[in-house]
Structure 1
Amino acid sequence: MSTHDPKHHAPVEDSDPTVASAPSLRDESDSTGKWTGEFTVGPTKDVDLDSIQVGDQLEDFDLITQLGEGAFARVFLARQRSMQRIVAVKVSEDHGSEPQTLAQLDHDYIVRVFDQAIVPGTGLRLLYMQYLSGGTLQNLLHRVREYEPAKRSGQLLLDSVDASLRSRAEIRPSESQTRALVAALSWPETVAWLGRRLAEALDYADKVGVLHRDIKPANILLSSEGVPKLADFNISFARSIGNTSPVAYFGGSLAYMSPEQLEACHPDHLRSAGDLDTRSDLYSLGVVLWELLTGTRPFTDRSQTSTDGSELVAMLNLRAQGVPNSAIDALPENCPTALRRILLKCLAPDREDRFARGKELAQQLDMVLDERARELVDPPAESWRKRLRKWSIPVVAIAAGVPNGLASLYNIQYNQVLIVNKLPPDAQTRFLVITAIINGIFFPTGIAVLIYISRFMLRVPHGLRQGKTFPPEEIARARSDTLVTADRVAAVALGLWLLAGLLFPLTLELSTGSIDWKAAFHFFASLAVCGSMAVAYPFFMVSFFVVRSLYPELLPYSRDTSGDRQKLASLRRRSVVYLCVAASVPLVGVTGLSFIPVADLPEMVLSVRILSMGGILAFIGAYYLFRQTEEDLSALQRVVA
């Protein structure tokens, strides 16, 4: 466990968890007067750290100034003589395995520990590490509370960093792309930007078997560009280090603890420190991000003075109810729906309902930084994308049925003039009966086939809206089916049109014996052309709907979307092919005039004009949907990358 002054720039250890001692509760207050109780396993202090002074030389280090101080450690800014570099040196008793834990961690968003040194005959251990001059998130949090929500932005983060730089007489970086990016962010986007990097750090630590267990603003340092780095793993537990146990490393700050970590603190609960996993750290990170976003923590814990654990019970009861509505109502007006959903998932009372890994959380927070992507995945409540999700079947049916119906009407009129009107009256009557029978069978059959092959796409989202849970493989199947829905609509429609192109002349020939091969070929060709029309236009209408509305709905419930990037790219490539088909319709209409007998031209000119002009207008619409879908696919590819 560690405590920091708001001006501290490096991690400080104020307890050594390897020295046996009874757990204790400390009632502390932060600068706002709010309780920040901490649970520690404290050692017996055998070394007088107060005797160490600025200006001393310890081994290879000249101590320049003190950066921070805790009960069991002091941190100095120092010059390492052998390497001629500035480092942060943490001076503590030679106890515990913090160096071994930190030696496993090499990540962009974790404070880099270089090495340790033991001062002979003193019982002192020197842990020297990367020096970060931008302060801590605790410094930033103080500034957040001083500004109204409407006045907070990414510049607030940079102002906090610059204030820390000035206090150390350091120069602010110039021409920094990172700082320029941060300055342009809204405050919710800034919180997501910070959180995404910290989630990556926790994911990395988890992969190497390390749990932090004390995530709080004071333990998150900032570089001169505002990049966060996780520090103070002194109460963490590394599974790969021999002769250690989770209990030996137990501790943390109560206000940021997960419910299961609070239970492990309580003597009457069966849960132990060994039961904790990375979801506990992600919960703590959720508390930190919520506090940064709003200036207050999601749970209004009250200061307690009892030592019987009743304060832990009160905290557990409060967290078991989830984030209160009063805290949700305090979220800033410009908070994206996506960020609200993500933080609430982080703070779910049951850890099974949280993100399983830091990678999942990082991916979701990264999406918040992409305006188009977050609007796709978490559209506003009044958005048509959200309202139409529960009407998936009617929407897809209309998108597929209307173009097919119009093509059918055109085909009937086209063949009526060129072929049917030239048949004997009884043959014309039979043709009308055949037309009614085929259409009466094909249209319901097509709808039934589409519903069946799209059953996962329809059933899973509906169930999720009802609060049901599905295995990951079913959700993955639903996502995959969603991305090929438009192709299935096109394939079923084209197949039925081609089949009709064979059945119409065949049945008419069998019933009348009056269709020659030229008329039959013309009949088939006309249905094939109309079929291509009924394929291209529904594809873009259905793709636009599923990509903008249905597929993004499944992403928050998906844990592994790594394979979706290729599927999205494939849909994008197929869209180009369908666009070429749509562009060919007006050309086919004009070309078709050359195959019409001269005597029939006067009667067909109007129909061909309608086909050509309608095809041009339809292509313009298809191209617009293509461009919109293309941009949506690009945004979704960034989400799943």
Structure 2
Amino acid sequence: MDADDWLSECLQRLAEQGCVSEPAELLAYVPDLDHDLRRMLLVELVKLDMAMSAEAGTIRRIEDYLAVAPDLLSPTNVPIDLVMEEMQLRRDVGESPQASEYQLRYPQLATVLTPLEQSINAIESVETQGAPPEIDAGEQIDDFLILQKLGQGAFAQVYLAQQISMRRLVALKISRGKGGESQSLAQFDHPNIVRVFDQRLLDESSLHLLYMQFVPGGTLADVVKTLRSHPCDDGLNPRGGWLLLQSVDEQLLEAAQVVPDQSATRDWIATSPWPQVVAWVGIHVCRALHEAHAQQILHRDVKPANVLLSAEAIPKLADFNVSVSESPDQAGKAASLGGSLAYMSPEHIGAIIDKNHADQANIREPADLYSLGVLLWELWQGQRPFQSGSVQLSWNDAAAEQLASRQRPLATPIVDELAPHAAAERVLEKTLRRVLSVEPSDRFGDGAEMAGRLRLSLYPQAATLFDPPEKSWRAWLSRQSPWVMACLVLLIPHAIAGGLNYQYNMNEVMKPLQLEHVLRSVSWIVNLTYFPFATVCAIWMTRSMVRAVENARQDQRVDSRDLGNMLELGNRAATIGGSLWFSSGILFPLVFHYLDPDFHWMASLQLFLSSLICGGIAMAYPYFGMAWLATFVFYPLCLRNTMQDSDFDERATRFTNRGEVYTLIAAILPLVGGALMISTPSSSRWFMLAAVLAGMLGLLVATSIHHRVVKAWAQMGQVLSTQNSAFPE
């Protein structure tokens, strides 16, 4: 049996027997197991015996049990939850236990007893007003007709009700007194946050009515239960979106609500693989958190039970009872250490265990994102990402164990590397690993960044662009120096064009005129001027790209201006290179006419056309090289962390249109080469024919690159474009 089975059996045996005559008798109910499990069982048996003794009229103190098994329970290791049990029992009989008393009895608990006393006082202030009354279905309270009870808490009842005046279904929360949830939730009008309509205070009965949007599809906690009943390795019926819909439909049936007949959202969910559905859920919750954080409200209790689902399975964040508002006109900061232990961030747990470990102010937006990461991992894998190293003995021990588990490596997920959605699942895993980083600074900056990264999981082709496999050539190129990559792409075509131009001019123009020595001298002067200038320009223009890439590699946000300069690099280099070649095409004939007045016009035309062809080469091929490098390597690298580019649509349009211009330039090159071949003596036509064929091959390459670049930008637009409507809302 596991720990829960042993606990259930031991408590049942004691409950059937009743409270023991002597505390030492409890040891007979503790089986011979390992030390940690025996200690946990003894602590729980002590709690039960204390409660049954109190019902019999005797208040037993913790000290009465310390001699039962000193190796298991001693004054130095009394758990905080046992102290809470005694304090509560004493309060029930009219005593007023103080934290100072317990601080003297158990000094090791001094740091947690003061906030515990504050919590008890807060509970007392609510309890003194009395619990809300139970209301039967069919009864009316104020403007609400009670239809069905949905749930209850310690101090509130939640009902499905019809608001008579508005003729709408609402979730009606009835409590004594007035909490802060309405002030937190009423600020929001967001599709992924449960909408609070209003509140009413009934003076005659002091009842507080909070009525809000009724969300009938259950919670993500229900989905997790459904998920755990379906094994990961079931090849006949693999996990998919149908699991989410199955859970929602079961809850709709229980609430007597109609399952939507036609829904594009449900249709998409039903046909989508499970990792993409998990990412889709995460995107919605990220949006809700981003909205809350923008309103300076922290949720502090993100967990599956607090994410409700509509009939179309759209997630809606609820239960801001422990939320904290940073607005100066709202209270609530004193309660900021609430939440659910299993989903808390390390800094949140640390602040609870030891207030000196992490100040309350350090529990910021990244803590909510961390909790969401735990939630999504559990939704994805069916279990949370942390391996517990030992049995949790008490609440305090459990908190310490949970904090220790955050420092351990995450559980190894079950993934299918051969599935069609493998790229999407790889992105999902990397996203969750990042948001589950121990240090808050290593997580995403806000919910929008995390949502952008999760959105990538919905589009496997785009995911391959932004997150290529580790051993792929794109991943290898992304690790190389951007200085080297850019300079090679920009300067090699110039060097090739310069070599071809020199050979053609030497053999086909100057040699017949016996001006080879003049060409050598002029070429040296021009090359020593133009090529160093082009090199300096290339290095200078590459600075922005290098800065952007370095920031991306350090997980820092890339400046939009640097990103734009990187995408403009190919065009600027082509413009400068083409201008240099065009100017040299004019300058060379003028220089030769100056040196030799008999230099005829046909030779001048040949010089100009050859420079024009080489200029086209120096424009088109560096552009397409940089377009390919930016599109497939460095632009995705720069956006990999944030997945946000507010200027994407404008850049994509500019990139596509500009590519068509340079494709046209590449198409003109063979035509100009053909014209030059016609005007060239027959002895050199083989050389020119080879150049024309090379130009045609270059055109094919340029056309192919342009086609791939346009396709890649369209794929990236699925994730980055603000005009994209494919995302299932």
Same fold at TM > 0.5: yes
Match of 2:250 in 1: 163
Whether 1:362 and 2:362 are equivalent positions in the alignment is no
Segments of 5+ residues of structure 2 without an aligned counterpart are: 1-78, 84-115, 723-729
Whether 1:269 and 2:356 are equivalent positions in the alignment is yes
Match of 1:190 in 2: 277
Give 3-state SS (helix, strand or coil) of 1:79's partner: strand
Counterparts in 2 of 1:135 and 1:24: CA distance versus 1, 3 Å? farther
Whether 1:68 and 2:151 are equivalent positions in the alignment is yes
Which residue, 436, 439, 455 being the options, matches 1:350?
439
**Does the CA-based 8 Å contact 2:462-2:716 persist in structure 1?**
yes
Match of 1:633 in 2: 713
CA deviation map 1:64-86 (0-9, x unaligned):
22112222222111222222222
Query: Which shifted more, 271-280 or 508-517?
Result: 508-517
Matches within 5 A, 1:427-466: 427-435=515-523, 438-439=526-527, 442-443=530-531, 445-458=533-546, 460-462=548-550, 465=553
Q: CA deviation at 1:436?
A: 5.4
Distance 2:580 2:413 in 1: 54
Whether 1:88 and 2:88 are equivalent positions in the alignment is no
Distance 1:51 1:86 in 2: 19
Match of 2:699 in 1: 619
Amino acid at match of 1:501: G
Counterparts in 2 of 1:500 and 1:24: CA distance versus 1, 3 Å? farther
Counterparts in 2 of 1:49 and 1:303: CA distance versus 1, 3 Å? farther
Amino acid at match of 2:350: E
CA deviation map 1:466-502 (0-9, x unaligned):
xx476x4x64454233212212331343233234335
Distance 1:205 1:350 in 2: 22
Match of 1:488 in 2: 572
Match of 1:526 in 2: 610
Whether 1:132 and 2:132 are equivalent positions in the alignment is no
Whether 1:337 and 2:426 are equivalent positions in the alignment is yes
Q: CA deviation at 1:450?
A: 1.2
Matches within 5 A, 1:479-558: 479-502=563-586, 504-505=588-589, 508=592, 515-516=599-600, 519-558=603-642
**Does the CA-based 8 Å contact 2:452-2:644 persist in structure 1?**
no
Match of 2:660 in 1: 576
Amino acid at match of 2:617: M
Amino acid at match of 2:213: Q
Distance 2:82 2:362 in 1: 24
Amino acid at match of 1:370: Y
Q: CA deviation at 1:395?
A: 4.3
Q: CA deviation at 1:241?
A: 7.0
Match of 1:114 in 2: 197
Q: CA deviation at 1:272?
A: 4.0
Whether 1:217 and 2:333 are equivalent positions in the alignment is no
TM-score by length of 1: 0.84
Distance 1:503 1:317 in 2: 74
Distance 2:437 2:589 in 1: 64
Distance 1:365 1:26 in 2: 43
Whether 1:324 and 2:409 are equivalent positions in the alignment is yes
Matches within 5 A, 1:248-327: 248=335, 250-269=337-356, 271-301=358-388, 304-306=392-394, 309-319=396-406, 321=407, 324-325=409-410, 327=411
**Does the CA-based 8 Å contact 1:60-1:81 persist in structure 2?**
yes
**Does the CA-based 8 Å contact 2:453-2:642 persist in structure 1?**
no
**Does the CA-based 8 Å contact 1:569-1:633 persist in structure 2?**
no
Amino acid at match of 2:392: Q
Distance 2:216 2:503 in 1: 78
Matches within 5 A, 1:416-431: 416-424=506-514, 427-431=515-519
Distance 1:456 1:254 in 2: 45
Amino acid at match of 1:117: R
**Percentage of matched positions with identical amino acids:** 34
Distance 2:301 2:314 in 1: 19
Segments of 5+ residues of structure 1 without an aligned counterpart are: 1-22, 28-38
Distance 2:80 2:697 in 1: 76
Match of 1:3 in 2: none
Counterparts in 2 of 1:521 and 1:608: CA distance versus 1, 3 Å? closer
Distance 2:391 2:544 in 1: 51
Q: CA deviation at 1:632?
A: 1.7
Amino acid at match of 2:509: I
Amino acid at match of 2:317: L
Distance 2:353 2:137 in 1: 41
Counterparts in 2 of 1:249 and 1:386: CA distance versus 1, 3 Å? closer
Q: CA deviation at 1:375?
A: 1.4
Amino acid at match of 2:534: G
Distance 2:350 2:272 in 1: 38
CA deviation map 1:584-615 (0-9, x unaligned):
22232334456x2xxx4423443443344333
Counterparts in 2 of 1:358 and 1:580: CA distance versus 1, 3 Å? same
Counterparts in 2 of 1:138 and 1:475: CA distance versus 1, 3 Å? same
**Does the CA-based 8 Å contact 2:453-2:643 persist in structure 1?**
no
Query: Which shifted more, 579-588 or 445-454?
Result: 445-454
Which residue, 199, 211, 214 being the options, matches 2:286?
199
Query: Which shifted more, 545-554 or 111-120?
Result: 111-120
Which residue, 157, 168, 183 being the options, matches 1:100?
183
**Does the CA-based 8 Å contact 2:548-2:563 persist in structure 1?**
no
Distance 1:618 1:476 in 2: 33
**Does the CA-based 8 Å contact 2:337-2:351 persist in structure 1?**
no
Counterparts in 2 of 1:284 and 1:331: CA distance versus 1, 3 Å? farther
Distance 2:401 2:177 in 1: 37
Give 3-state SS (helix, strand or coil) of 1:64's partner: strand
Distance 1:258 1:581 in 2: 57
Counterparts in 2 of 1:534 and 1:185: CA distance versus 1, 3 Å? same
The size of the alignment, in residue pairs, is 594
CA deviation map 1:486-533 (0-9, x unaligned):
123313432332343355445555666653455335413320232113
Whether 1:180 and 2:267 are equivalent positions in the alignment is yes
Give 3-state SS (helix, strand or coil) of 1:202's partner: helix
Distance 1:513 1:489 in 2: 36
Amino acid at match of 1:238: S
**Does the CA-based 8 Å contact 2:487-2:538 persist in structure 1?**
no
CA RMSD of aligned residues (A): 3.0
Amino acid at match of 1:360: E
Distance 1:163 1:610 in 2: 72
CA deviation map 1:536-591 (0-9, x unaligned):
12311221122111111111345863234433432222112112211222232334
**Does the CA-based 8 Å contact 1:41-1:251 persist in structure 2?**
no
